Amino acid sequence: MTPCGTITAKDAAVVKKIWDGPRRPDGTRLRYGILPGASFARLAATSNGDGVPTPLASGWFTYWLAKNPSFDWHSLTMANFTHYFDQSHKEWAPLSAKTEQFARLFTAPGVGHCRGGSGAAPPDPLAALVKWVEQDKAPHHAAR
């Protein structure tokens, strides 16, 4: 039982799909899902529970993916989402190796955006960053 009621088998199946990540209509993976323990609170990228995307989410699609100031998010379908995904991957994936020279992503399930939450946060992530910048020792995992 949760504050929202009983979790049903159907609810659990939806959560499992979210953890698995989005897939194409043929079943192949588009990208990884979110990690168990991560908050679902901002997953929909909406404001006030009204179902309308936040300006950040809709702007990302409008200007970064569609590259069309007139883009209407209501027109987004799974078919054209897959198209935008492929287009974005083709355009930006070649930059990945260059990006890893100065940026890395490490997740901490259950930890809030800037610490806090129920997960185990790395105790001193700043030390890993300082070591990378000052000693050229890039981290390969979250600082412990």
pLDDT at 44: 67
Q: Give me the DSSP letters along the chain.
A: -BTTBPPPHHHHHHHHHHHH--B-TTS-BSS--PPTTS--TTTT-BSTTSSPBPHHHHHIIIIIIS--TT--GGG--HHHHHHHHHHHHHHHGGGHHHHTTT------TTB-BTB-BSS---S-HHHHHHHHHHH----SS---
Sign of torsion over alpha carbons 111, 15, 48, 46: positive
CA distance 96 to 90: 11
CA distance 126 to 143: 9
Going residue by residue through the chain, which has 144 residues, state the pLDDT in tens, using 9 for 90 and above. 677 789 999 999 999 998 998 898 899 998 888 888 777 766 666 666 667 777 888 888 899 888 999 999 888 888 888 888 899 889 888 888 788 888 888 777 777 766 777 777 777 888 888 998 999 998 887 755
Tokens 């950040």 belong to 56
Long-range contacts of 118-125 (CB under 8 A, 24+ apart): 118/37, 119/37
Long-range contacts of 93-99 (CB under 8 A, 24+ apart): none
